[in-house]
Amino acid sequence: MVDPTSDLGEDIDEADAPSCASCGSKIIQSPTHRVVTWVEDGSVRTQHFCSEECKVAAADEA
Ligand SMILES: [Zn+2]
């Protein structure tokens, strides 16, 4: 069973697509899409990256 509200795979509107936290590109049906989640101040934070490269680049800046 797939939850249609959280599935990023199909029929996503560009306005609803996540942006890469590193380069700002809209991420739509990207096979290299990476999602990082962590807990901060008691709530779950999520960052999306268009590729492994951007994810690594963002980690390097921190
Ligand atoms: Zn990117």
User: Ligand 1 centroid vs 55 CA: distance in angstroms?
Assistant: 7
Where in 1-62 does DSSP place strands (E)? 34-40, 43-49
Distance 21 CA to ligand 1 centre (A): 7
Q: How many angstroms separate the CA atoms of 2 and 60, rounded?
A: 34
Q: Residue 54 pLDDT > 70, yes or no?
A: yes
* SS3 state of residue 26: strand
Distance of CA 60 to the CA centre of its chain: 17
Q: Ligand 1: distance of its center to the CA of 49 in Å?
A: 5
- Considering the entire predicted model, what is its pTM? 0.69
Are 24 and 57 in contact, with CB atoms under 8 Å apart?
Answer: no
Distance 58 CA to ligand 1 centre (A): 9
Domain boundaries, the chain: 18-61
Pull the structure tokens for residue 51: 């590729």
CATH class assigned to 18-61: mainly beta
pLDDT tens digit sequence for 2-37: 555 555 555 667 778 899 999 999 998 889 999 999
Q: How far is the CA of 31 from the centre of ligand 1 (A)?
A: 13
